[in-house]
Every structure is written in C-alpha cells, then in structure tokens.
Structure 1
Amino acid sequence: MRIALTGSSGKLGRVVERELRSNGYDVIGMDLAGPRGPGFVQVDLTDYGQVIDAFSGVGDRHDGIDAVVHLGAIPAPGIRSDVATFHNNMPATFNVFWAAVRLGIRRIVYASSETVLGLPFDVPPPYIPVDEEYPARPESVYSLVKTLEEQLATELVRWHPDLSITALRFSNVMDPEDYATFASFDEDALLRKWNLWGYIDGRDGAQAVQRALEVAAPGFDRFIIAAADTVMSRPNADLIAEVFPGVPVTREVGPNETLLSIERARRILGFEPRHSWRDGA
C-alpha cells in the first residue's frame, strides 16, 4: 500500500513514517520542509492545487497513492494566533479530504485530538475515564477546528458510503527522551491535569495509524489514542480526589491506568500500547 503521509516532518510524523516503512509500506512524505529524496514531496497543504497534484503523482516519485495519513497541521493551541491556526488547519484538512475523494482514494486516517474531549478541563469532564461517547467540547480555536474536521468527515462518508475516514484523537505525543521529565510531575497534580495526566508514545501512535489503515471499516469513526498508563506515579484515586472531587468515576480504574479510555480503540482497531515511560525507553 502506498501512503501519502502529510506532516511527515513533525514529531509524530517522523515516527509514523519510520514505523510504516519498517512494516513494508511505501510512504511518500509530504510537508512544507523535509529531506530531499524519492520519499518526500514538498507540499503546502493550504493550496488545493498542490495537494491534488501531489496525490495524483509527482515525476518519478510516484504515480498515485492508495491511502492518506493526514498529520499535517499546526499541532497545538497557542503556537500561532487563533486566526492563523484556523486559516492553516481547516483549509489543509478540507484540501486533503477533498483531493482524496476526487481521486477515488477511499482510506483516510488522520490526527484528530484529545482536545475535543474538553481540554484543559477547566470545566471538569462529565465523568472519568473520559471516552468517545459524549459530544465534543472544544475549548480553543485549535480544538474547534478538530471538532469541525470530525463533522466534515461525518458528512463526506455520508455522501460516499465506500469512503473510510478514521479520526485518531491522539494524546500528548512523547518520544523516549521526553520521559526524563516525568518524575517532576508528581510534585503538583495540576501540572498535567489539563489532559487527565495522559500521553502517547510516538511509537504507539504509529501503531494506531497502522491498525486503522489495516482494519478500519467504511464510514467515519473516532478513537482516543493514549498510553495505557498516566504520566504520574501518584495513584489515580488521590489525583481525582484532589483535582476533580465532584466528577463521577464510572468504573474501577487501576492505580496508574489511563483516564483517557482506550477501550474502544482496543476493541475495534486492535490497538494495544506497548511502550510506557515507566520502562525508561
């Protein structure tokens, strides 16, 4: 399967590119910047002409693609102004989705975000662990775009019943070298309350992408993608009692089990995190 991977130069994109290639996929990286060579095409995703042309074929690089993994975006709120974030991310995703539809590409996997769950949870979540069952609660322009992208995907698959679009609501992406800082989080429960003390190892993020490419059914679906544990050594019972004392806990959770439920991704995609900061690498 030949994959167009947008955002291939980003933190998650670099890992996804490496892991997909190691598992036999033909990956064409697409981003504003990247290494010159046969596996990369420079593309401005906000320019529809560039997107559909790059998906169609580029010189001797490739002559068409089978699926799209769309990670290209301003990756978080607060990096650029709200207007700049909207004007980049929303058109980029529309262009990627629309070009794929026009070219008959019927499998899209893309980065949604944990932010649609209500981050930074200044308004407490409706219950813990959070899951995909309650409506999106965007609290930033970045998250608003992610919510609109999910609605866009919902309508496109209604128009095209053979189209598969999978939204992966990634938690905070981490590389192994990031884990050295995790011990300091225990000093203040509020430091990481903004995403219920969650994270995702980039290698497990890549695993989720591959699982979605392989097993996602036609239609639209969305999945929380997080590590199996929290960033904290402190037990969940203490954290919840201190920070979210009035929030219902809907089931028993382990002392350090993720509070960003990944049960749906496990059940439908076969996703199972393999990496933890507790392992040291």
Structure 2
Amino acid sequence: MNVVVTGATGGVGSWLVDHFADDGHEVLGLDLERPPGEHENATFLATNLTDQGQTWDAILAHDPDAVVHFAAVPRPGIEPDARTFLTNVESTYHVLEAAGRAGANVVWASSESIYGSVFADEPWLPEYFPVDEAHSRRPADPYATSKLVGEEIAAMAARKHGISVTSIRPSWVTYPGEKRTARAREAFDPATAEPNGNFWTYVDVRDVVSIVAAALENAPDGHETYLAAAAENFLDRPTAATIETVFGDLPAECDLEGDESAFSTAKARSDLGWEPTHSWREAETEPLEGPAFLER
C-alpha cells in the first residue's frame, strides 16, 4: 500500500512509520519537521497540517491507499487552549478531507479523554465500569473537545466520500523500557492519592500500532470507534477497590474483576480480532528503544 502517516516524528507516529515501512509499504511521513535520519520505504515532508493547501498537496500527490492521522497537540496545557482546539480540529478536517478525495481509508487518533474525566479539574466517575464506546461523552477541556469534534469530522468524511474511517481512542500511551508506570506505582498510596481521571489505565505503543493495522486490515463500513487499552491497570492493584478507595464511591453498575482495565476493548476484539498483548510487567524491564530514523 501507499500509506500516509501524520505526526510521523511523534511518539506513536514514529512507531507507525517503522511498522508500515518495515512491512514493505511505501510510507509518506508528515510532521512539522523532518526527522534527522532516514528509513527505507519512507519519505518525509515538513508539513503544516493546519494549512489546507500544504496538506492536500502532500497527501494527494502520494495517491494513498490509507491515511493514518496521529498528528495533534497531544494534551491540554502545552499550547494556549484556543490553539490546541483549532490545531487539532483544522488538521483533522484537512487530512480526512484529503483522504476522502483520494479514496483512502483512514485510521486516526481520537482519545479516551473524550468521555470528559481524564483532564477534568475534579475527575468524576463514569456511569458504569468498564467504560465502553457507547458511554456518553462530556468533555470539558479544549483537547478532549477537539477529539469529539474530530469524531464528527470522521463520520462526515465516511458519509461524504464512502470511505472507511476508524477512530481509535487510546489510553495513556507507554513505551518499552521507560519507567513512568513504575514511578507512578511506587509513589501510589490509595489513602492519599488524588483521583485519576483515566483510572490508572494505559496502553503499550506496540498495541496501538497493532490496532491501527487491524483497523486497516478489517476496515469497517463507514465510521467506527474503538478503545485501545491494556488488559490491566498499571498499579498491580484491584481496579474497583482502588477506585472506590480513592474516589470514595463506585457507579451502581461495576463489573471489574481483579486488576482489569477500567476501559473495555471488547468491541475491538469482536470487530477487529484485536486484543492487547503487552503489559507493563514485561515492558518496564525491556531495553529502551525507538525508531532509528529519529536518531542522528
């Protein structure tokens, strides 16, 4: 395939470029800056995706079979609120509209924050556990709201152009060899812990790559959404009991066993044949690694 990957020098985007290029696909990587190195089967363009002309020119010239859109301001607090919202919405519109004009199927990064609790000033409990794709969405920050608008753009592009558009809602993305989950676990005390809006959920970057590949291989009709989360929390504690201790309550409907993730991936298993295969238990002790084309 000819594949376009946006956010090609970012955390997840660089792993996606690696995956598709290593599989022999012709990859065009788009980001604000080109990477310092090169990758066989991949070319890179410095592109501002909030500019319609640049975006359409880059994508349509590649004649893609698939577009994987992971470029974004990745969370609130990095840019001013308006810039976060506008950057994410404008870039998503330009990329998905170009993909539709090219007749390319799309997988793009929405977020678990779309439900509203993740970046809330005072995290709150959902209506039920585990949270699934059908749960109501009540974002109250510019980043999560940009993802809500992005999913509407995705649905529009699928209807307008007759392409498949898959919105992936990843949890907190972690990487092999890093120690963020270990540090968080070691510092955690349920008696003093602050409420966590994603309920100590995470997903390994390699599982994000595999769900993107599964969504392209099993492209759904129209627009579909899928959560991407690890099978368990990263605390090594019972999920429901930990939430109840920290939040002081649980929703009336709670069906969590042991350290099971608070976010369900049952829909992805059913529709895409995908399930997470990586755990913090192995990943924390693996060598720190990343795509070589990011290195000089």
Encode CA deviations 1:134-176: one digit per residue, 9 max, x unaligned: 221112111111001111222232233x310000001111112
Q: Following the alignment from structure 1 to structure 2, what is the Cα–Cα distance between the partners of residues 207 and 56?
A: 26
Corresponding residue number in structure 1 for 2:198: 195
Corresponding residue number in structure 2 for 1:115: 113
Q: Following the alignment from structure 1 to structure 2, what is the Cα–Cα distance between the partners of residues 77 and 126?
A: 24
The structure 1 segments of at least 4 consecutive aligned residues displaced by more than 4 Å after TM superposition are none
Corresponding residue number in structure 1 for 2:259: 256
Shift of 1:97: 0.9
Secondary structure in structure 1 of the residue aligned to 2:196: helix
The code of the aligned residue for 1:227 comes to A
- Asked whether the equivalents of residues 119 and 194 of structure 1 are also in contact (C-alpha less than 8 Å), the reply is yes
Encode CA deviations 1:21-56: one digit per residue, 9 max, x unaligned: 233332211101122655211111011111111112
Corresponding residue number in structure 2 for 1:34: 34
Q: Following the alignment from structure 1 to structure 2, what is the Cα–Cα distance between the partners of residues 96 and 15?
A: 20
- Asked whether the equivalents of residues 204 and 279 of structure 2 are also in contact (C-alpha less than 8 Å), the reply is yes
Q: 1:191 to 1:185 in 2, by over 3 A?
A: farther
Corresponding residue number in structure 2 for 1:60: none
Encode CA deviations 1:217-244: one digit per residue, 9 max, x unaligned: 2200001101111111121232132134
Encode CA deviations 1:61-85: one digit per residue, 9 max, x unaligned: xx42111000001011111110110
- Asked whether the equivalents of residues 127 and 253 of structure 2 are also in contact (C-alpha less than 8 Å), the reply is no
The code of the aligned residue for 2:246 comes to V
Matched, 1:166 2:166: yes
Corresponding residue number in structure 2 for 1:186: 188
Corresponding residue number in structure 1 for 2:72: 73
1:243 aligns with one of 242, 246, 252? 246
TM-score, normalization by structure 1: 0.91
Corresponding residue number in structure 2 for 1:136: 137
Secondary structure in structure 2 of the residue aligned to 1:242: helix
What are the ranges of 5 or more consecutive residues in structure 2 without an aligned counterpart?
287-296
Encode CA deviations 1:188-213: one digit per residue, 9 max, x unaligned: 47457220111111111100110011
- Asked whether the equivalents of residues 164 and 216 of structure 1 are also in contact (C-alpha less than 8 Å), the reply is yes
Matched, 1:55 2:36: no
1:224 aligns with one of 223, 227, 230? 227
Shift of 1:177: 2.8
Corresponding residue number in structure 1 for 2:50: 46
Corresponding residue number in structure 1 for 2:289: none
- Asked whether the equivalents of residues 153 and 220 of structure 1 are also in contact (C-alpha less than 8 Å), the reply is yes
The code of the aligned residue for 2:239 comes to N
Shift of 1:103: 2.5
Q: 1:69 to 1:47 in 2, by over 3 A?
A: same
What are the ranges of 5 or more consecutive residues in structure 1 without an aligned counterpart?
58-62
Shift of 1:260: 0.8
Corresponding residue number in structure 2 for 1:98: 97
Corresponding residue number in structure 2 for 1:89: 88
Matched, 1:210 2:208: no
Shift of 1:267: 1.0
| C-alpha RMSD of matched pairs (Å) | 1.8
Secondary structure in structure 1 of the residue aligned to 2:129: coil
- Asked whether the equivalents of residues 64 and 102 of structure 2 are also in contact (C-alpha less than 8 Å), the reply is no
- Asked whether the equivalents of residues 92 and 153 of structure 2 are also in contact (C-alpha less than 8 Å), the reply is no
The code of the aligned residue for 1:200 comes to V
- Asked whether the equivalents of residues 117 and 130 of structure 1 are also in contact (C-alpha less than 8 Å), the reply is no
Q: Comparing 72-81 with 184-193, which one deviates more in the overlay?
A: 184-193
- Asked whether the equivalents of residues 185 and 231 of structure 1 are also in contact (C-alpha less than 8 Å), the reply is no
